[in-house]
Amino acid sequence: MRPIGFSTGALALSDFSLAVDWLIARNVRTVELSALRMAELAPLLNAIPNLNLGTFDHIGVHAPSSFTADQEPEVVSLLLRHVPKAWPIVLHPDTIHDFSLWNPFGSQLAIENMDRRKPIGRTVEELEPIFNQLPLASLTFDIGHARQCDTTMTEAYRILTRYSDRIAWMHLSEVNTLSHHEPLSYAAIWAFAEVADLIPESTPVILESRVPAESISGEIEKAQIALTPVSLHTKTA
């Protein structure tokens, strides 16, 4: 069974403690602590020692999705001080102003492939110069972003095959034309299943679907189906 959990930001926005409690109550053992807004970062990181995280097997942190060049040293310093080395740190490549500041994280830094709103990081070709400057960084593969950029799933296939050795973390959700994260549709489930056999079984999967607490378990069940290769769907049909 793949390790599948949720982003706290998808469930309860900045109320990460409430989201953690919801996941524990449903025996979910994978979580991403989300600080997508700069103002959320310090409160989240300072709260880590007091959060009830003992039941989780896989924990990651999502860095802010926007900050200035002047704020970048503070972001780096906070992450270095507060995030355990074993936890992946998800970073949008378009937020980087000074690559040299991020090299000390090594493989802990998990660069995320982007949606079509962004000017970089969407394709294999756009990811290559980023990894050239961060040679030890890993990849957060966002399959919803890849599908939004190319609904044929060709780009998803290309990213998975080109960077298979870098995949450390994964995001999964329906991403609509406005780049909003939604619950999984049948079309998305089937599209994701087309490349599921390329995704290592051990990769922690984070759902970013915006769902209420009562839909957490159901959305995880849908994700398990989406990550079952098409060939296995055919055999069990």
| Look-up of token digits 């939604």 | 182
Query: How many other C-beta atoms can be found within 10 angstroms of the C-beta atom of residue 23?
Result: 23
pLDDT of amino acid 174: 94
What does R_g of the chain's alpha carbons equal in angstroms? 17
Token couple for 86 = 């074993």
d(C-alpha 147, C-alpha 152), whole Å:
7
Q: What is the pLDDT of residues 63-73, one digit of tens each?
A: 999 999 999 99
Distance CA 17, CA 25 (A): 12
Q: Give how far the C-alpha of residue 194 lies from the chain's centroid of Cα atoms, to the nearest Å.
A: 19
SS3 (DSSP) at 43: helix
Selection from 111, 164, 161 nearest residue 133 by Cα: 111
The two structure tokens encoding residue 81: 């001080």
3-state secondary structure 78-122: HHHHHCCCCCCEEECHHHCCCHHHCHHHHHHEEEECCCCCCCCCC
Rounded to the nearest angstrom, the gap between the alpha carbon of residue 83 and the centroid of all alpha carbons in its chain is 16
Q: How do the pLDDT tens digits run along the chain, 237 residues long?
A: 899 999 999 999 899 999 999 999 999 999 999 999 999 999 999 999 999 999 999 999 999 999 999 999 999 999 999 999 999 999 999 999 999 999 999 999 999 999 999 999 999 999 999 999 999 999 999 999 999 999 999 999 999 999 999 999 999 999 987 778 899 999 999 999 999 999 999 999 999 999 999 999 999 999 999 999 876 654 444
Split into its structural domains, the chain has a count of 1
Number of H helices and E strands in the chain, helices first, is 10, 10
List the domain range (segments joined by +) for residue 68.
4-236
User: What are the backbone dihedrals phi and psi of residue 175, each rounded to the nearest 5 degrees, phi first?
Assistant: -115, 115
Q: What pTM was estimated for this model as a whole?
A: 0.95
How many Cα atoms are found within 13 Å in the side-chain-facing hemisphere of 53? 19
DSSP bridge pairs for 140? 112, 169
Check which CATH number belongs to the domain holding 173 and give it.
Answer: 3.20.20.150
Q: Which of 25, 16, 15 is nearest to 214 (CA)?
A: 25
Q: Model confidence over 176-198: pLDDT tens digits?
A: 877 788 999 999 999 999 999 99
Do residues 188 and 223 make contact, with C-beta atoms less than 8 angstroms apart? no
